[in-house]
Amino acid sequence: MALSACERGSQIGTRLLVSAESLTKAAQRLILPRDALAPEYGADQISPDFKPNGSIDPAAADYLALKANGFADYRLEIGGLVERPLRLSLAELRARPSRIQITKHDCVEGWTAIGQWSGAKLSALLDEAGLRPEAKYIVFHCFDALTQTEDGPRYYESIDLIDARHPQTILAYDMNGEVLGVPHGAPLRLRVERQLGYKHAKYIRRIEAVESFDHIEGGKGGYWPDRGYEWYAGI
């Protein structure tokens, strides 16, 4: 009797432990400070095959012209609700404060991959441009239309100022120690490590500080959010 009760007890105990563990994970997500760092990995953990996803070869004429010239004429525009709009070449971006990090990318389609990213710290660029007090979100306008046609709606995404100022939020120009390739978002793509994959805008054309999304496309703050995905995709 005592033994079976004990066995039963330990079974219940295991079940409780399992559910307590998932509860802890859920609770941790709720209470984990927004500025906590995403885990970083060792160079030996970099995925040999990091899957390119979504757009992998933009067809827009303005993008093709820049690509043909090795992005020498590319200028990143930072505008909207800023005191000092910026237009920066890739060389100028490389001269700005930067960060290098090895992180895990997490796509809603159910795959992950670890990669090394280096890029300009978004917080420093926003300080340089000087956000106006009304600015609440940072919008990333991209070159690509997911339909691979020239006139389809272009990809865009947005994040709030907590993610924009997060220390691991960078505009990446290198991946795994090499210049960022076209499939992964050349010449410049966002890494916002506390968010799911679709928030990481590739092929960034222009950055706009805004107070709301009402004036942009479907008004939900992103290409996929306009099509039903959550705008906030924190992990």
Ligand X SMILES: Nc1nc2c(c(=O)[nH]1)N[C@H]1C(S)=C(S)[C@@H](COP(=O)(O)O)O[C@H]1N2
Residues binding ligand X (CB under 6 A): 51-55, 107, 142, 144, 146, 155, 184-185, 197-198, 200-203
- Pairing outcome for strands 76-80 and 204-210: parallel
Q: How far is residue 17's CA from residue 39's CA, in Å, rounded to a whole number?
A: 24
Of 168, 173, 175, nearest to 46 by C-alpha is 175
Binding characters for Mo ion, 82-111, by CB under 5 A (x = yes): -------------------------x----
Tokens of 163: 């993610």
Q: Taking CB within 5 to 8 Å according to partner kind, which of Mo ion, ligand X, none is near residue 166?
A: none
Q: Taking CB within 5 to 8 Å according to partner kind, which of Mo ion, ligand X, none is near residue 142?
A: ligand X
Q: Taking CB within 5 to 8 Å according to partner kind, which of ligand X, Mo ion, none is near residue 201?
A: ligand X
**Residue number of the CB atom closest to ligand X:** 54
Residue with Cβ nearer ligand X (107 or 161): 107
CB 120 within 8 A of CB 97: yes
Residue with Cβ nearer Mo ion (93 or 196): 196
Residue with Cβ nearer ligand X (28 or 112): 112
Minimum gap (Å) between residue 207 Cβ and Mo ion: 21
Among 71, 156, 198, 203, binds Mo ion (CB under 5 A): 198
Residue with Cβ nearer Mo ion (107 or 161): 107
CB 76 within 8 A of CB 96: no
124 binds Mo ion (CB under 5 A): no
Residue with Cβ nearer ligand X (117 or 137): 117
56 binds Mo ion (CB under 5 A): no
197 binds Mo ion (CB under 5 A): yes
Binding residues for Mo ion, rule: CB under 5 A, are 107, 197-198
